[in-house]
Structure 1
């Protein structure tokens, strides 16, 4: 067994992806209330709105068919008459937030996620964004982005959103092998992806992203390399190349359109990543954070080089705001001091809004310890390094964290210096494991049920 394979065997455990700390299973909901969330949000908004603005994530949950690899909250339907009531609900939620904040929000970032945002008509998406912006100002430097499905994104979608200020679009590609596509219920020819990519460029989008996934059912190395070669023909500005989170014990039959042994595991799955990464680097892409790659002209690469990369519930972003408000069912908001998640079902979401309530149903107020650890994990995920200089009093558990990291240092995954650690090139694929050493909530109490995907 090679050293790389032995490390995979050693560190391939279930672990969080760290889009937040504490991770959702450790939110102490019994100590959380809507009133606390409002207070926390107002504090953060007053601190940061004038200085850096805020981010908006808008969840558009409808899909015409179920992609079985998806872990998002969605409603599968072909009834497009559901669009207008949902847009009205999201705008009402935004109005409730604007009433709470009093001062006009300065929007630095908007991201439309799903579900399938391009399920919605051009008219309804225009109504949504115009309704948001009429109560806000746009920051001097801003980024509006959306997720487009290559099978139903029209040139009209792209043009209308461009006219509203959108300059980045992300297309879900996954894999070009038809057998893999059938297994995940996402039949999507290369020609469709090429067409929507070309349209975006012709219209003037400055950042086009493709999402690729490794570890999908029936996928082998030839599939991954072929998908990357096809992707390179289109030369997207950035790429997500991430691991399929196979969690059928959570998602149930939605991730059971194939058998367990059809899903690549362990050494094979790692090979898919390593060889795929090698090809991406050879094609001129740079590795950014965890599972992301970008060309040198893209904002994400520049943010990484300048140590300005940020990570939140939207994933990696090239700009940071302290406040992120999530609109729509299941969306998560973040004030830095606290998290809040909206109702997960359409019925509950609508019911709360009918009562003129912000539809938050759970969340977490971060303790002083949480805030210290959150920053360390954010540093590691975004810059592959973190420092504890001057934290002797605020981080008394540091010695036990460093003790856990000593084994990883022996394995060549990182170096421990007097006041900081640095993840090595060999250690980058294990960044989730390294973050887990800092995760005191995880070390004190493992979840009762397996809820995380494997780290490798």
Structure 2
């Protein structure tokens, strides 16, 4: 495995979208065309499957240095009300495009720190959304909670509004690692909010754990998973730390590359963690995710309904996902659009009744086909090309790129099917990259992505 790690540890995308953001074609994108794809997708899918809604709540009281997300650091909570009103107006601008009342199948509050906002303000936000929307059949509402500031009132308020899933950012329980990433939170805090959520009736409680963090050792990962075992969350995100200090706005400059585990050490951390999780009953779901067999995420994988988008892995698929708030990305299935990242610019555009999109991409027919293949690999560890709807001109070149991975035992290639082996699952990003014709047509001139291992 060490030789394979050295061989395949290269910079590569995580494929929450295809094409990936650096390969979006801005020249062919316009707000008008984007809105046309949005309306088309809504008309095709709203009645049968509903839509997904992601709301970005960017405020945090302190900078966590492992985080690459867009956020605004402040302790000033009077910013909550104006931001919520802007998000609700943005939602109103979208609803004006739709021909009927949208049914929301999935709703996720991400950040930032959603629990920076008071329970009362979160209620104002959700109630405001549903003044012009309905809950679709089988809806799933979820939010991200910080163990240090999530209160029982937060959990009860959101539960009463229809939320049944919550994920808590744990990262690592070792104090040295926590101090390095500026995220000090005792196990007791995680235990308290996990137990609160279960007492209240949440059906899925998740924990996010990261390996490959600065100063993190194999023993630290083992101890974190032993503590996780005490709480047995329904699902786990077991992420590889993405070291991207060149990206503007993150805090990954408080330590050096030498402070990070090597690629071989990271892979050992992952393999040990995966083994420990498997022994207590967790099942591997796609890339970096694990769930108990009773959780909806595992059941959706078993029924081939698992989906992946800018919200990560989801238990059901909607073609249309609307992103609200600064930096949010929307997905119409035919195109992507990202909101402006500056809070002041966002407010200015909303005040002028303008949907605050500043860049995007309209997918070509070929890109839609490749996107399906990468989604298949990421969600089911296999893909096929039985008919012309799965064929694209460079497929033969893709298969040639995969021949070496086949020799290494990472994939099995049939006449019209590709399957990822158990050995190949840790290298799913590399396997997906073989399908990324845009990446192969024009390799980036500068570092864009984190390392795959």
Does the TM-score normalized on the shorter chain lie above 0.5? Answer: yes
* Match 1:180 to one of 173, 177, 193: 177
- Distance (whole Å) between structure 1 residues aligned to residue 292 and residue 124 of structure 2: 34
Query: What residue in structure 2 maps to residue 91 of structure 1?
Result: 88
User: Which structure 1 segments of 5+ residues have no match?
Assistant: none
Alignment root-mean-square deviation, CA: 1.0
**Other-structure match for 2:132:** 135
Of 236, 240, 249, the match for 1:239:
236
1:15 aligns with 2:12: yes
Alignment of 1:225-304 (within 5 A): 225-251=222-248, 254-304=251-301
Which residues of 2 match residues 16-35 of structure 1 at below 5 A?
16-35=13-32
Q: How many angstroms does 1:448 deviate by?
A: 2.2
Which one of the candidate residues 36, 46, 50 is aligned to 1:39? 36
Consecutive aligned runs of 4 or more in structure 1 exceeding 4 Å deviation: none
> Contact (CA 8 Å) 2:385, 2:391: kept in 1 or not?
no
Partner of residue 435, structure 1: 432
The separation in 2 between residues aligned to 1:452 and 1:216, in whole angstroms, is 17
Provide the residue aligned with 1:356 in structure 2.
353
Distance 2:363 2:250 in 1: 35
Partner of 2:372: 375
Hey, what's the Cα distance between the residues in 1 that align with 2:6 and 2:20? 24
Query: What is the Cα deviation at residue 393 of structure 1?
Result: 8.7
So what's the TM-score if we normalise by structure 1? 0.98
Give distance in 1, aligned partners of 2:334 and 2:209: 33
Does residue 335 in structure 1 map to residue 332 in structure 2?
yes
The structural deviation recorded for 1:147 is: 0.1
Cα distance in 1, alignment partners of residues 415 and 273 from structure 2: 35
Q: Deviations over 1:85-105 (max 9, x none)?
A: 000000000000011113100
Show the counterpart of 1:57.
Answer: 54
Provide the rounded CA distance (Å) in 1 between the counterparts of 2:216 and 2:330: 35
CA distance in 2: counterparts of 1:19 and 1:52, whole angstroms: 21
Show structure 2 runs of 5+ residues with no match.
Answer: none
**Structure 1 CA distance for aligned equivalents of residues 362 and 374 of structure 2:** 17
Q: Normalising to structure 2: TM-score of the pair?
A: 0.99
